[in-house]
Amino acid sequence: MKKDIHPEYNEITLTCSGCGHSFTTRSTGKNTALGVCSNCHPFYTGKHKLLDTAGRVERFMRKYGKVGKATLSE
């Protein structure tokens, strides 16, 4: 490897703003605050909610479903 062309690769601390959990990793960046981590993200904790999209699709089809069924008149 050539000398003095590679960035410094240091150990940094990442801190979650949501729960305060922090962990160390190696990076060329600086210490960083994360918005959400795997300890407090709803998907990873099992507390995520599924949206009821079936009702929304049915409402859309009732409102706009007839638009695509136009007939051609000669």
Reference 23, options 14, 32, 31; nearest CA is 14
Stronger pLDDT, 69 or 4, i.e. the higher one: 4
Q: What is the pLDDT at residue 68? A: 63
Would you kindly state where each structural domain of the chain is located, as residue ranges? 1-48
Helix (H) or strand (E) holding 54: helix 53-64
Q: What is the pLDDT at residue 50? A: 67
Assigned fold of 1-48 = Rhinovirus 14, subunit 4 (4.10.80)
Scan for tokens 């695509």, then name that residue: 68
Q: Which tens digit of pLDDT belongs to each residue from 15-67?
A: 998 888 999 999 999 999 988 888 888 777 777 666 666 678 788 888 888 76
User: What is the pTM (predicted TM-score) of this model?
Assistant: 0.51
Residues composing the chain: 74
Q: For residue 5, give Cα distances in angstroms to 1, 10, 29, 64.
A: 9, 15, 16, 60
Q: What is the pLDDT at residue 44? A: 74
